[in-house]
Structure 1
Amino acid sequence: MPIIEHEGEEYHLSHEQSEALDQFQMISSYPENDLPLIIKLLELYGWNIERALAAYYDGDWKNLVTEPAPPIHRETLPQQQQQLFNDSDDTGENLPILMDHTLFVPKLPVSKPLPVDYQTHFKLVGLGLNDNDDSKKNVSFLPSHKLLLFLLLIPQTIGSLSLKLLTLLWKLLSFSFLFNINKDVSNKNKVMKIPIKPRIYRNDSNANSGGLNSLNSIEHPEYTIKDVILKNPSFNLDTVLKNVDNTNKVFNELYSNSENEFKFMLVILLGNLLEHDDALGSQDRKDQTLSSVSSSNNKEEVDVNSVNFVKYVWSDESVQRYIDTLKVSSNNSLNVYLGDVDNQVESWCVAKNYNVGVTPTVLLLGNVLNSNNVGGAGIITRMSLLGNPKVTSSKKFLRSLKFLINRFAPELISSRTEKHDLEMERELRKLQDQAYQESLLLDKKKEEQKMIEEELKKKREIEKLAKEQEAKLNNTLYNLKWLKEAILEYQVKGGNDVALGKDKLCTLQIRTPDGTRFVKKFTGSMSSYDLYKHIGILLYLGISNLDKTEEALVMKVRNLIDNQGENTTCLKGFTKGNEIDEKNVVNVLQDEFKKYDLDNTELKFNFQLVSPFPRYEVPISEDVLISNIPSIWPKGNILVEFEEEEEEEEDYDDDDDESE
């Protein structure tokens, strides 16, 4: 229970009364010295803010609270609502009068989501307050009227008096135990108010200077609710966030889901749960508590009540079990929003949006019938504030929450069922219309033929795409196979074109189609297949000697990386070719070879070796040795003739198919 202290007197107020006092202060900005009279004025009108404000602005309200209280006037229903029948009408007959149906619909505060530009929207409301404005200073004071309380208890019987005293003592002890664990005496019974600004917009270095920090000038990092819970070692992350829905959604998303799906929305607004080293100055923190605060320890002050609410109320096994029931057994009929108003801008704006004064505060929202005729819309279902579950203990919280849930659950279930029936009816009508349209299409031969043609076209596109994928794979295997053979050739011969030995050598002058000529020597025991492979490696890498193999490999791999996705599917782990150099190119390729079945991949030669005079095509065979080919042994000339690719013919065939 909040305790307010003023000039040595104490005032014990409930959370609802404390919020009413905060709202009255925001609207009227009454002087600090008038606080006791303002409390009397609110008590006089049963803490009805509208009636109290009307009396306050009449100008003679001080005499009203100092004089004896007038008898309470109870409003009566209009005469036509007190009787079920009129005495007579124009016809002389008694006719029944229907009672106003609005009497059976509760009048609840209308809820609303955060504006789209909620940070800018609340800048003038909260973030723009002047820290030095004396009219906004919070005062702290402790309860008074002990004599009045004693006089009220005198007429009771001794048994009733004893029972009430024991109950009061038990509440005080349990409240003190719950909300003052691990706290020193100076922090007892302290209730934290909503801060003037979220923590990320508070400039601690000039905390006493007042004024507004720009929304773009963030002095502290903003945490998510998961970050806040993780940074507090006293919290069990799995338990606290088990049923919380705003770990990956914002407030308005949960609000919209609750409104459209007729779910309850439980909004839990907590104070500062973290102890920061970059503490606030006294000027920034002086408006955040109902009692005096000392900032001499240079630590961000933790809201003990919020911490204990999370530990002993929200994390209570019975509370979590009931929340599980609502979220699982009741077809997920509850959304839970948990926020730290000190470390999260969105949660701070939610608190301002709902005029929350202190933390912890719990709000229960729901899309129910509401007779609060806001905007002249009449009685319709609208998101409304259903109530404030109590936060002082887990039993009270659970009992008050169950009361509110049980009160409005039948209506929400009915609305949800009605919505589901409407959606099913709409879906059924949609299916009927679709079936009707399909029957019309079946009656039209032209449309049917068109659909067949479209299907055939899609089939051809799928086949074409499959061929492209197959071509990419083949091209990938082709490149990797040649790269692997190049590495093996280089590692075996060590950069020399001819392996050292006693065999006789064959000297060949090789000429490529682009006019490049180079002379190479080969052993007579080399097969024609190895000759093809050796010349193919040189042509593939674009070199004339094996001693340039590493440089050529780097250039080739870089080119494949820069053009990946167009013709190949390899080397996907690299985005830029400059990541490859001579030091890592072999290791990179070795890792890439393991991803493909290169051992069963045939080495393809897209060229033919020809001896020009007389013309002789050198066969590709591992059984034919160079020394057994007279046209090139021991000396000869070889032309490299590349084979024509067949892709153009395939494209031509496709064009013919399309023209047909």
Structure 2
Amino acid sequence: MPVISHRGEEFHLAHDEEDKLNQFQSITSFTEDDLPLIVKLLRNHGWQLEPALSRYFDGDWRENLSLTETPAAPPMRSPSPSPPTQPQQRRGSIESGSPTPRISRSVSATDNLAGFDTSMLVPTLPVVHSLPANYKDRFQLVGLNRARELTQQPNPLMIILLFIPNTLLKLVSLLWSLLSKLHIGSTNVQKPKIFRVPKQATTESNEVRVGELIEDEDLAHRLEGVLGERPAFNDALQSCKEEFKYMLVLLVGNVRQPPPTEDAEVVDEKAETVAAVEEVDSNSMKFLRNVVCDNGTLKLLEDYKDEMIVYLGSVIELEPWLITRDLKIKYTPEAFLIGNVLNSNGSVNGATKLSVLSKLRVTSARRFQNSLKLTLDKFNPEMTVNRTEHHELRTARKIRQMQEEAYQNSLMEDKMKAERRKIKEQEEALEQQLLAKRESEAKMAETLRQLQWLEKCIDVMETHGEGQQKADTGKYATLQIRTSEGTRFVCKFVGDTTLHSVYINVGCHLYLNNNSPDQEAWAKSVIAKIKELMRSDSVLCFKDIESAEDDLDDLDIAKLIREELAKHTDGAQTPAEISFDFELVSPFPRYKVPTNEKLKLREVSQLWPNGSLLVENIIEEDDEGEEGTTDDSE
């Protein structure tokens, strides 16, 4: 017996109790200081893990133990004496095998018994075990492999050895029958026949057909409702264990009605063997018809339908036959009640096991009902408490599962929110990048436009002297130009000047806002424009000039502009030709001057040798990009 020591205190435990304590520690991971309290907690719950764990996780288990604290168990105790065996009874009057007396498992009843061996309070009941999972393969049925046996050649010596005892037995039986007939005091009173469980099952599956045995259709229908889906024994036993239900087991003999035949033997063509027709168990037939199908029995079973599983089987079948073998049943019919209750069989302080609560009396319907009611009344409090605790534990598990699912859903929702927030932030960052890129591109386009016009202004200034010399020879055209603000200025162009050059000249006047043909005035206007661009945030040019604004007069402006333009175009040529946001129109007759780089001024009769031009600004009228003009007339 394992002994656990803790600070001078010893706990004498059984092996299964030590296993339960180890399982409890692996689940709860309690501290070493709580070991005495944990042992008391498990003892108070009969070493049942589920109710003990349920009480442990309530949080106030220490207070409950302090209120119901029991004295320490004695170091050694003598084993409880086993109950005397019951004498074997005749089948004429079947008595119920009542279990060892028991009392309620309440804490107050056991804890106040100082120094009393509490294992004596737990009944010792027969334990029910489930059938092997491969029992159909392990147990061979009678008649299944007879054909192979018949094909084998018999041994002559074995035949002689078997023949001699059979001959002697027949002679003794014949002599005894003769003596019985000559006995003077012999009577013809027929004794009730007793049906034994066969030595071996004769069929693998032969479900008892209630509809063929019960003539009353209403009673047969009610019995079928009580039997339900008729699960296998192991399945019913598992449900009885997990859900703390009763299991009523009814075992009967052969209740099959034999087919009409003239011979005493039936030939099995498939197996090519001969088997005697099995005798019908009349006691089992009476039990089913008079006891089980009694109105009072059916009413009692219907009342406990939700709390009881009814198992009905014939012992000539393999599964019920194995049940009789496990429970050591010799006669049919037999009925007993199984339940998952506290049992001291095989343990010191008792543990919850599947046990035979009582063998029920089957001689009459009244005795069967009384024995069943007595057993139910006896174990109903314990079974009700177990079912309640099981329901509470299952409910608590379900609640924890729902809480865990809700927590996981919350984590998933938070994760999805974080992902959506991250995606939104990425979209906003991408939008900001696109916006910054568009602003940068717009700023670069504006910078190039400003530098292109400055370069054109320098070109006009450099070509002004050559044009003036040609104009002095008389080969020039005089054009009077009026802007949209009403300003007028006069320009002279040689005849070989293209119309595109006229547009550039007029555009430079408009860009610098200078209508004077003087070159010095133009130079001052260009320097002023450069200073304006240095202070502007809408362009990128002239930001890294080391000289101050006052020192620009001493610099080579043309070189400065061209270097700045080359820097912002990476040394390449200007990417696009300069664009005009105005149009030149000759009013009388109205003639729109094209921006043609090949058409020369002398080839346009409206402008050669003298002409008048109006500057009309191009204005976007709507968002669709439609363009219109605003006419300025004198």
TM-score, normalised to structure 1, is: 0.37
Q: Which has the larger radius of gyration?
A: 2
TM-score, normalised to structure 2, is: 0.38
